[in-house]
Amino acid sequence: MIEVRGINNGIVLDHIQAGNGLKIFNRLMNRIANDVPVVLVMNVDSNILGKKDIIKIEDTFDVNLNVLGLIDDNVTVNFIVDGKLKDKKKVAVPEKIKGFIECKNPRCISHFDNYVDPEFTLYDRNNLEYVCSFCDEITKYE
């Protein structure tokens, strides 16, 4: 087991399915300031998952649980304040999602009008398929 120092104020994303850590990391990077310490740990042993990834971020920001749930619904989000676990949240596949996925219908209004963010409603949980609020087309998250 690799020893990684704990964080004082920030967020620890735990129980990430091994391999998803980098995806989540890339998604979050535009939300994290350049000078913030971030640790991405990959392929460590997990009782639940066999192998898991962990991300530690020494920063408090509004982490988008919907987006996390879409990428990996195993993730647990730990909020650390003054070196102590303050809150813990389990993510889930979101019922609704806004502005994160793009409608696959090329004629959908959401591609032409910058003022509208399509809202997608969960259609098939197992296949991560969502229905567009504008055109009713089904888009699969991949």
CB of 123 to Zn ion, least distance (A): 13
CB of 101 to Zn ion, least distance (A): 10
Nearer to Zn ion, 68 or 103 (CB): 103
Residues binding Zn ion: what is the number (CB under 5 A)?
A: 7
Q: Which of 93, 135, 138, 141 binds Zn ion (CB under 5 A)?
A: 135
CB of 1 to Zn ion, least distance (A): 46
Q: Is the dihedral angle over the CA atoms 3, 69, 85, 51 positive or is it negative?
A: negative
The one segment of 17-25, 73-81, 89-97, 133-141 that binds Zn ion by CB under 5 A: 133-141
CB of 140 to Zn ion, least distance (A): 13
The one segment of 42-50, 52-60, 65-73, 134-142 that binds Zn ion by CB under 5 A: 134-142
Residues 73-132 that bind Zn ion (CB under 5 A): 103, 105, 108, 132
Nearer to Zn ion, 8 or 121 (CB): 121
Task: Please give, one letter per residue, the 3-state secondary structure of the chain.
Answer: CCCCCCCCCEEEEEEEECCCHHHHHHHHHCCCCCCCCEEEEEEEEECCCEEEEEEEECCCCCCCHHHHHHHCCCCEEEEEECCEEEEEEECCCCCEEECCCCCCCCCCHHHCCCCCCCEEEEEECCCCEEEECCCCCEEECC
CB of 105 to Zn ion, least distance (A): 5
From 131, 134, 15, 136, select the one nearest 71 (Cα to Cα): 15
Report the interface residues with Zn ion, using CB under 5 A: 103, 105, 108, 132, 134-135, 137
